[in-house]
Structure 1
Amino acid sequence: MPSDAVLAVPRPAAHTGVPAARRAWIVVGDRAEAHSIAAAMQAEGWQIGAVVHDLTSAQRLLTLRGEAPELVVTALRFDDGDGFQLMRALARSARPPAMFIASRQQRAVIRAAAALASACGLPMAGVAEQPVDAASIARSVSSYRRPAARAPRQVAPELGRDELLSLFDRGALFPWMQPKLRVSSREIVGFEALMRAHDADGALIMPDRLVSALARHNLLDQATLRMAKQTVDFVAACLADGMAISASINVSMQSLSNLDFCQELAAAVEHVQLDPSWITIEITETDAMADLSSVIENTGRIRMLGFNLAIDDFGTAYSSLFQLSRIPFSELKIERAFVTDIENDSGKQAIVHACAQLGAALGLHVVAEGVETARELEFVTRAGCTLIQGYLVSRPMPADQALGWLRQLDELRFELPAG
């Protein structure tokens, strides 16, 4: 082992309640700082397996030991590399350690390191920014408890073509409706139709299994049209009851490029004598960033037929703002990942604010998706979002249940839960 790798003598965790088996490595270039952290952690009952000061020693240590400890406290800059390389190496361990980042780097760099840890499956035990204080690091890591391992997710068998055709034959493919609320008036103004199905045993089949299988077997257009017709019927029923409710349908760009599909979509609204402006077609940002001429043609045709057009999951792809300005959208939907826990993340706040201002400047309605708490509502409202969608208002529900839910509201106004 290199001479600068110092093995610490384990000490018992007598008065702290920290199990003696909890081991940690310190990988910090500044020797005095590294040993100060090690001493403070030992005082809290940690077993310090090693203190090293460069990337090479840390990687060699991992090779020699064959496994990582419970926790690694690391800096981000070394003379021979950086903490990003170390995290990549640690992520290959049979049981990757939790990471505590102790660094004097810019906050943007520290955030990037924390994001890399998450992306690599390394739990984050915390971060210490400049000035690095050994005692506070020791207290922080001693209160950290590694999350319990999740049970392996059971993967449902892939849906075959015959199973999908059976859904059509049994009428087992249908929309579930999730309401949209106008923030200023607290009115329910529309719904998003989300694809669901029931298998032969009555179990619910979710979109993650449905959509990919339908696309693979060239049945997505047929399924989307069935969804669209039921959604159109739902909107017509709302309007007949005197409720001014619109709805949106998720459609792939591949479907929009099919002229027959567009004509059948137009025929569905004409059949119930519904103005197509009550229906919004949602396409994802990834779809919108495909071949410009094709996207403009297909989306322009949909708008010409009278439908509204929304860009969904905005912020998840690398949009060209020039391209975005050329597509005739009427609505921008901000991806839920930017809304979740927004009150604790200044980066998300800035992104949502920028998206909302961009949407407003382009004359679009701006919807914040995934709003689940009163605090999230507060922040997306402050950012300039005009509509919200999420569990704070309601989970998705079958169309007949959604119609009954609407009828119980007073003038379509919804009383949001108190914070």
Structure 2
Amino acid sequence: MKKEIKNVHVLVVEDHELLSKILIQALTRAGIDKIALATNGLEALNIIQSGTPVNLIICDLDMPTMDGIEFINHVGTHGSDVSIIISSSLDPALIRTVEDMAASHGLDVLGTLPKPISSEKLEGFINRYLQQDILTENSQPQHTGLAINQAILEKAIDDGQFILYFQPKVKLDTGELHSVEALARWKHPNASIVAPGQFIAQMEQWGLIEKLTLSLLNQALDQIENWKKQGRSISVAINISPAMLNNTQLPDILLKEISSRHLDPKLLILEITENGAITNTTSTLTTLARLKMHGFSLAIDDFGVGYSSMQQLNRIPFTELKIDRSFVHNASNDTTLKAIIEANLSLAQNLGLKTVAEGIEQSKDWQLLRDLHCEMAQGFFIGKPMPASELDDWEKSWLEFTTSNRFPKR
């Protein structure tokens, strides 16, 4: 029996009667029974404005009266806190434009559900939505009462309330665990686990991001040391704020911590979002050059989503290129995305960079990246972010899956 999923209110916006029935049946099978239906954007707006709870929208684009593009724009303009799945058979290039438009409004775009509709893929989107929701389950979003100010955040750092979850990064050719990405979580005393979207911007605004990052870096190094004691060599990647790159003493700080634990610097991968180092100031370049010289790994994160990709690769000594999930997700069904990935992989190969595909959420995209000879992958298809204590059980289950007939090695 399918477990009932509570507190998920879905609005289906679809003018085709048969397709709307298929969507409702698929949602019901997935355990969701709080479903509203609209046949065009105007009806959907009226439902939202009437006060009906909605936190997930499945929306067609080509509809009468008010099309889905105009509807999504209205939803985004009014700052609705919802996730969206686009259901459409229109040109993939047009759909990507709509996804970017929705994302620019701050909406959580889960992806596109092509027609004819696949119940399996819809359930995959729902699972992804639920995984995101788990991170803040029982917590209060900032705009609904979670008290945050500079003193509270600083005390939370001092009290060790910020912890790391780890998302596996595996080798695409064998499926074996290669490394993990360390992701910040706030173990709030009154709100369970709080996701980083609710505190990182405030940390940067109030000048606390360096203090937080140094605390998390020490946790990451402690975990690397723990694995070393178990006879395992697992690299940990962690995001570095651009503000920290201006600190030319960062390499010395990290070298001291690395040396005290007798660790190899290459086991710490410093991920730099493409837009993060875009200024390329003298201090930033000094810091990055010294980090590379002393053996730390440098990864360019979210590659291709900014405006200076080539300049960054030319100026900064990266060792790893991470292909952004916006290119990876659904690439198996999109020739344009596949071409972009192939170009990125070719570029990385020519520059001698390791390659990681982010956001793999379905087996077809995994297979595509394997066929294109990408080296590593991460995403919900492989494993969600989790405490270090859960990695062993995840790894056992994952390796059993990869050795089955459904998932042969390359």
* Alignment-derived partner of residue 66 in structure 1: none
Q: Describe the SS at the equivalent of 2:163.
A: strand
* Alignment-derived partner of residue 150 in structure 2: 161
The yes-or-no answer on 1:306 pairing with 2:295 is yes
CA distance in 1, matches of 2:291, 2:167: 23
Alignment of 1:10-159 (within 5 A): 155-156=141-142, 157=146, 159=148
* Code of the aligned partner of 2:335: S
State the shift of 1:109 in Å.
Answer: 7.5
Q: 249, 267, 273: which one pairs with 2:256?
A: 267
TM-superposition CA deviations, 1:3-53 (whole Å, max 9, x none): xxxxxxxxxxxxx8999xxxxxxxxxxxxxxxxxxxxxxxxxx99xxxxxx
* Alignment-derived partner of residue 220 in structure 2: 231
* Alignment-derived partner of residue 172 in structure 1: 161
* Alignment-derived partner of residue 195 in structure 2: 206
* Alignment-derived partner of residue 324 in structure 2: 335
Q: Describe the SS at the equivalent of 1:321.
A: helix
CA distance in 1, matches of 2:89, 2:170: 43
CA distance in 2, matches of 1:167, 1:154: 16
Q: 238, 242, 245: which one pairs with 1:249?
A: 238
Gaps of 5+ in 2: 1-16, 21-38, 41-59, 79-85, 115-138
Structure of higher CA gyration radius: 1
CA distance in 2, matches of 1:273, 1:290: 34
* Alignment-derived partner of residue 344 in structure 2: 355
CA distance in 2, matches of 1:126, 1:167: 41
State the shift of 1:186 in Å.
Answer: 2.1
Alpha-carbon contact 2:87-2:113 (below 8 Å) kept: yes
Q: Describe the SS at the equivalent of 1:395.
A: coil
Q: Describe the SS at the equivalent of 1:221.
A: helix
TM-superposition CA deviations, 1:132-172 (whole Å, max 9, x none): xxxxxxxxxxxxxxxxxxxxx98424621222123223221
The yes-or-no answer on 1:191 pairing with 2:160 is no
Q: 359, 368, 380: which one pairs with 1:379?
A: 368
CA distance in 1, matches of 2:171, 2:19: 50
TM-superposition CA deviations, 1:237-287 (whole Å, max 9, x none): 112211121111111121121134432222211111111111111100101
* Alignment-derived partner of residue 147 in structure 1: none
Cα pair distance change 1:117/1:101, threshold 3 Å: farther
Alpha-carbon contact 1:325-1:362 (below 8 Å) kept: no
CA distance in 2, matches of 1:393, 1:320: 27
* Code of the aligned partner of 1:318: Y
* Alignment-derived partner of residue 368 in structure 1: 357
CA distance in 2, matches of 1:370, 1:414: 22
Runs of 4+ in structure 1 displaced over 4 angstroms?
Answer: 16-19, 70-74, 86-95, 99-103, 107-121, 123-127
CA distance in 2, matches of 1:235, 1:100: 43
Cα pair distance change 1:294/1:350, threshold 3 Å: farther
Q: Describe the SS at the equivalent of 1:190.
A: strand
Cα pair distance change 1:102/1:360, threshold 3 Å: closer
Compute the RMSD of aligned alpha carbons.
Answer: 4.5
The yes-or-no answer on 1:290 pairing with 2:273 is no
Cα pair distance change 1:102/1:275, threshold 3 Å: closer
CA distance in 2, matches of 1:233, 1:100: 45
Alpha-carbon contact 2:245-2:283 (below 8 Å) kept: no
Cα pair distance change 1:358/1:160, threshold 3 Å: same
* Alignment-derived partner of residue 148 in structure 1: none
Cα pair distance change 1:72/1:125, threshold 3 Å: farther
CA distance in 2, matches of 1:154, 1:315: 34
Cα pair distance change 1:301/1:89, threshold 3 Å: same
Alpha-carbon contact 1:308-1:330 (below 8 Å) kept: yes
Identity %: 28
* Code of the aligned partner of 1:279: L
* Code of the aligned partner of 1:300: A
TM-score between both structures, scaled by the size of structure 1: 0.64
TM-superposition CA deviations, 1:78-134 (whole Å, max 9, x none): xxxxxx9x9779956999xxx99999xxx688567766876789x99999xxxxxxx
* Code of the aligned partner of 2:223: F
Cα pair distance change 1:389/1:314, threshold 3 Å: same
State the shift of 1:415 in Å.
Answer: 3.7
Q: Describe the SS at the equivalent of 1:286.
A: coil
Alpha-carbon contact 1:357-1:384 (below 8 Å) kept: no
Alpha-carbon contact 2:69-2:98 (below 8 Å) kept: no
The yes-or-no answer on 1:344 pairing with 2:333 is yes
CA distance in 1, matches of 2:374, 2:89: 37
Cα pair distance change 1:198/1:328, threshold 3 Å: same
Gaps of 5+ in 1: 1-15, 20-45, 48-69, 75-83, 128-152
Q: Describe the SS at the equivalent of 1:297.
A: helix
State the shift of 1:182 in Å.
Answer: 1.0
Q: Describe the SS at the equivalent of 2:180.
A: strand
TM-superposition CA deviations, 1:204-226 (whole Å, max 9, x none): 01111121121122111111111
TM-superposition CA deviations, 1:268-314 (whole Å, max 9, x none): 11111111111111100101322364443221121123211000111
Alpha-carbon contact 2:298-2:320 (below 8 Å) kept: yes
Q: Describe the SS at the equivalent of 2:276.
A: helix
TM-superposition CA deviations, 1:307-330 (whole Å, max 9, x none): 110001111101241441221000
Alpha-carbon contact 2:248-2:283 (below 8 Å) kept: no
